[in-house]
Amino acid sequence: PGSAPDGTDDVTAALETARRSGFHRTHWAMLGHGALCRALQGRTGEAHELLDELVRSWLPVPALASGEWLTAATYAAALSDRGAIELIRQMLERVEHHTVWTEAAGRTVAAVTAGAGGDHRRAARLHTAAAGIYAGIPDVTDRFFSSCLAVGELRRGAEEDARLLAEIRAFTARNEA
């Protein structure tokens, strides 16, 4: 990651700015995306802490669980630990107005739970279902993330999906990733 002028990394600097902003949505978006950054960096303990802060700050405010932050938070939880995915599951139980993003997040939570229980085929189907929801929005990047999680579950179950792998490879080639 890059670093801010004072030497802190970009994620920490953005989190501090979001916390001071006074705007819930800005704060929640940065917590979700910051948690995803930390999870991708392998700093899953920090990701879990950010998700905990997100859930604690979101619960008392009557607001939608929006795609601005929910998807990133769910992926961060999926890449972190069972406690983190449990935080997202509990939050989703409190959602009063369901959207395509809450539906996709619910599929991801169920997929991670199934995979942790050893049912990799079911986990892959649920991740693929989430990818289908994102395809319908359309949200190409989140479809890609869900598809990657599906492939990981298939591999853990000693299976493969050539079509899904081809889609992932095409996405990475287009985006030079």
- CA–CA distance, 148 with 37 (Å, rounded to integer): 16
Question: Tens digits of per-residue pLDDT, 123-153?
Answer: 999 999 999 999 999 999 999 999 999 999 9
Bridge partner residues of 9 (DSSP): 3
3-state secondary structure of 177: coil
Can you give the pLDDT at residue 58?
95
Q: Could you write out the DSSP letters of every residue in 73-120?
A: HHHHHHHS-HHHHHHHHHHHHH-SS--HHHHHHHHHHHHHHHHHTT-H
Can you give the pLDDT at residue 2?
62
pTM value is 0.91
In the chain, the amino acid numbered 91 is M
